[in-house]
Amino acid sequence: MSKLVNRLRFLWLRIRRAISPVYMVLLCASFLLWYILKLQYTYTTNFSVLVNVDGERLRVPCVVEGKGTNLLGYRVYARKELKIPLSDLKYSVEYDRGDSGELLGSWYNLDPQSVQSAISVRFSDIKVISIGDIPSLTFPEHIEAQSE
């Protein structure tokens, strides 16, 4: 490990002698200005959104479009989850019953268009073009007991 550190230190000293510090500062400044200018363009990218629907968490893959500054801001914001109540979404309920008729499980199948519009409302500066596959949500036990 110390051999690697010594080699890196030697390489750094050779670069400092060969390249002017003023040149390095100007190179960094030009890169920063170029990056800021590029952020003003409109981009389309894949974006994964963490959604909390009444306590059930799902990761919804989305294709979004927006300015680079807004997309960068939402990338930082993406660590937070969007809370969407189930009452804001359209869904269908499916029951899985065994051969003898007993209830094995039940889940919500969320409508992709309603999920897309609910996410779009919460992202004001970027446009949600499409969303990927949405996993089904399982019923909580207290609802299953009421539905039987």
Q: What is the phi/psi pair of residue 10, to 5°?
A: -65, -45
Q: Kindly state the tokens that stand for 29.
A: 């400044």
Count of domains observed in the chain? 2
Residue 145 has pLDDT above 50, yes or no: no
41 contact partners, CB below 8 Å, separation of at least 6: 67, 68
Clarify whether residues 63 and 127 are in a common domain: yes
Residue 31 has pLDDT above 90, yes or no: yes
Q: Output the pTM of the full model.
A: 0.68
Clarify whether residues 51 and 89 are in a common domain: yes
With bands split at pLDDT 50, 70 and 90, how would you rate the model's confidence at 143? very low
Residue 144 has pLDDT above 80, yes or no: no
Residue 26 has pLDDT above 50, yes or no: yes
Clarify whether residues 51 and 72 are in a common domain: yes
pLDDT for 148 equals: 46
> What average pLDDT score do residues 141-148 get?
46
With bands split at pLDDT 50, 70 and 90, how would you rate the model's confidence at 135? confident
With bands split at pLDDT 50, 70 and 90, how would you rate the model's confidence at 141? low
Residue 65 has pLDDT above 90, yes or no: yes
Clarify whether residues 79 and 129 are in a common domain: yes
Q: Taking the C-alpha atoms of 45, 51, 56 and 57 in order, what is their torsion angle to the nearest 10 degrees? A: 50
Clarify whether residues 68 and 109 are in a common domain: yes
Clarify whether residues 21 and 53 are in a common domain: no
> What average pLDDT score do residues 90-107 get?
78
Clarify whether residues 1 and 73 are in a common domain: no
What are the beta bridge partners of residue 93?
A: 108
pLDDT above 70 coverage of the chain, percent? 93
pLDDT for 123 equals: 82
Clarify whether residues 62 and 29 are in a common domain: no
Domain range for 91: 42-147
pLDDT for 136 equals: 80
Clarify whether residues 46 and 33 are in a common domain: no
Clarify whether residues 70 and 127 are in a common domain: yes
Clarify whether residues 47 and 34 are in a common domain: no
Clarify whether residues 83 and 128 are in a common domain: yes
